[in-house]
Structure 1
Amino acid sequence: MLNFYPSKAKRTVALMAVLLILLVCASCQPRREVRLTGKTMGTTYHITVVAGLLTSTGTLQKKIDARLAAINRSMSTYDPNSEISRFNAIASVEETFSPSADFLDVLEVASELYRLTDGAWDGTLDPLINLWGFGRKGAVHQVPADDRIVQALCHVGFDRIERDPSGRMRKTDPAVTLDLASIAKGYGVDAVARLLGDEGLTDFVVEIGGEVYARGHRKDGKPWRIGINRPDRDAAFNEVYKAVPLTDQAMATSGDYRIFFQIGEHAYAHILDPRTGRPVTNGVVSASVVAANCTVADGLATALMVMGPEKGVALVDRLPGVACLIVTRQPDGSLKDHPSSGFVLH
């Protein structure tokens, strides 16, 4: 009697052959670039993912938006119910605060940046940021009185916040408050990059408000190329000053040319020197940092604006896997580059 049903061994071999064909087809399928955009942290995000034609990205943006919303609920000073707002509202040196994992991760990087930069990066500039009109209380467009700056400086210093081994926070000055805007966007970039990696994606670039992380390569197999905006106040947002190749690296740029107010001939930018309580006046107009993650790159770029080219480049040259380009404006109006030893341009 003829048997029209294949044996179990033959069915297994056939199934394995089908799976192999599917895998080969998946690996050989044409690749496309998928672009996702949205709003977060008072700015916009742009993500480009290189994926196969059969790869579904239908729910990817929802996951991205949910992740960024969670970070915003943690670190937005504009949200009165956020973690950072609730910590800022504490008016006692005895009361402790238990941060979320996101908040604690950012605080650990912040503490290290404060130490490495000798206080040039400081997350407790909140009263000064508001005093100068660059914070949530709106623009004042006037130079604060000297006594008000001195008074605000009395409550500035990241070392006025303590954390115990469990991570619980406590103020040593009840008036100290946090503003982590100069590092939170970088953390958001890193969080989205981890999410994309967990989804099995290997080639993508994530950008939030100009801060970037790039993994893998473009569709053509070449490294991602990220532009540094020309640091002129009349330059278009897409006007490129320098282009940097990035693969499995982050880059963040701080500058004095976008957020500022002007009185007469003098412009006052939003980058404040924690030592003086005033906008920096060292000639630095832009600082870009390349690092393994965007949280560090974001905070360090702000610090380099304060430190200036000599001290800034010297610091970066001591940090493994970190590079920078600091740009200063010369007395004649021209721009001068101050690259670290590891900074690469194409």
Structure 2
Amino acid sequence: MTVKVGVIGTGWIGAEHIRRITTSIGGAEVVAATDIDADRAARAVEGTGARVLADGTEVIAADDVDAVVVTSWGPAHAESVLAAIAEGKPVFCEKPLATTAEDAQRILDAEQRHGSRLVQVGFMRRFDAGYVQMKEVVSSGGIGAPLMAHCVHRNPTVPETYHSEMAAQDTAVHEIDVMRWLLDDEISAVQVITPRPTGNRFEHLRDPQFMLFEMAGGARVDLEVFVNCRYGYEIGCEVVGEEGTVRLPEIPGVVVRNSGHRSTPVPQDWTTRFAAAFDAEFEAWVREVAAGTPTTGPNAWDGYAATVVTDAAVRSLHSGGVVETGIKDRPAFYA
């Protein structure tokens, strides 16, 4: 079975996923797309045979659309996901699932009323080979009980439209999800600390930020978010257990020796760093949609939990204090 996909939102990531579905993975084809900029949508599907529709409602309702990919502006995600659930169609939603905990809760309620899991959230790091290896070590008890973890998320620069709250909502959200997954535990409290700001930031932006997470089971996680580091895109993660540690591997690269120096290249953006993870993520999603089975990737509960934590992080950013997430117990539906 070839899964026929409709795409809502054809900005950079939407166009990239259209390219990925069309040229990099098998078992799926894009048959419809929409964007607030119809010309941009037309450019994104050029050569694919897909048609451009007026809006997300038309894409979701189209008879030839088996599954939906939501890559629109974050605040519009919830509306499209809810519409896809109402139509009973599997939906892949790029992060965030929703920009408020209330909207994420609406999605949980709608999906449970429907009776089957239809939603997958685009936390692609769970499909990265290095993180998968870390998960295997932690889950097998290879380092004993996890006590703490250290994370780094650095970008060379960000556009002027990037604001301080996005450090949690758009950047740290990946570490929030991956630490919940690696440690198999929920985040119960968060504190955001802002050290001396870099002179390379836009004046309105608080950068870098240091985030401290307390897991429900007592482990602690620290995360440095620095989105104007200038030198490249760097992701780091180390979990420290009672009997050892496990660290995310460095990205392989050629070693250059010249002018008295030894160097290796640093990725310059997330598309290069996680290209293989994006492919693996979509291959798994398409395979499960074609089989008619619930997706095993990050689900609506994972999207909800991440939103609850980012909400708490934004509150801490403004207060400077420790903020309880207030996350509830995971419903059995998402076990």
Q: Do both proteins adopt the same fold according to a TM-score greater than 0.5, normalized to the shorter chain?
A: no
| Higher helix fraction (1 or 2) | 2
TM tier, shorter chain?
Answer: under 0.3
TM-score by length of 2: 0.25
